[in-house]
């Protein structure tokens, strides 16, 4: 798929069509498989994919102080959620927050 942001939008709207269940951990598996397939095909990351990878690092930094152990971005979101389904919703909400901050930063630079 050429448009990663479009793919994320489709997953957000109807997770069961793309994931085996409506869960942050199912999304994590999907994303890891997506990354592996791209690497094995020697495909370059798009700007959208690089932005999402930066977002995942931002999530880790946002929640890093809440634990003394190294946890995945999915686990960090999960422990701040009601359940796996809520964590997936929260991940997409965090992505919206991240994109908003990026837009604000760009506007302030202009």
* pLDDT, tens digit, 9 for 90 and up, residues 69-100: 788 999 999 999 999 999 999 999 999 999 99
CB 55 within 8 Å of CB 95: yes
Question: Domain-by-domain residue ranges, the chain?
Answer: 4-109
What are the helix (H) ranges across 1-83? 4-13, 24-40, 47-63, 73-78
CA distance 73 to 88: 11
CA distance 42 to 91: 28
CA distance 63 to 12: 22
Q: Which pLDDT band, with edges at 50, 70 and 90, does 64 fall under?
A: confident
Q: Judge if pTM exceeds 0.85.
A: yes
Average pLDDT over residues 99-107: 74
């Amino acid at each position: 798929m050429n448009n990663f942001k479009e793919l994320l939008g489709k997953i957000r709207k109807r997770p069961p069509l793309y994931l085996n269940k409506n869960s942050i951990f199912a999304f994590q598996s999907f994303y890891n498989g997506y990354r592996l397939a791209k690497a094995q095909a020697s495909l370059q990351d798009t700007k959208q994919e690089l932005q999402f990878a930066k977002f995942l690092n931002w999530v880790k930094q946002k929640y890093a102080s809440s634990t003394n152990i190294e946890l995945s971005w999915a686990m960090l979101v999960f422990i701040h959620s009601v359940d796996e389904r809520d964590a997936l919703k929260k991940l997409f909400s965090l992505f919206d927050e991240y994109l908003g901050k990026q837009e604000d930063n760009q506007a302030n630079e202009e």
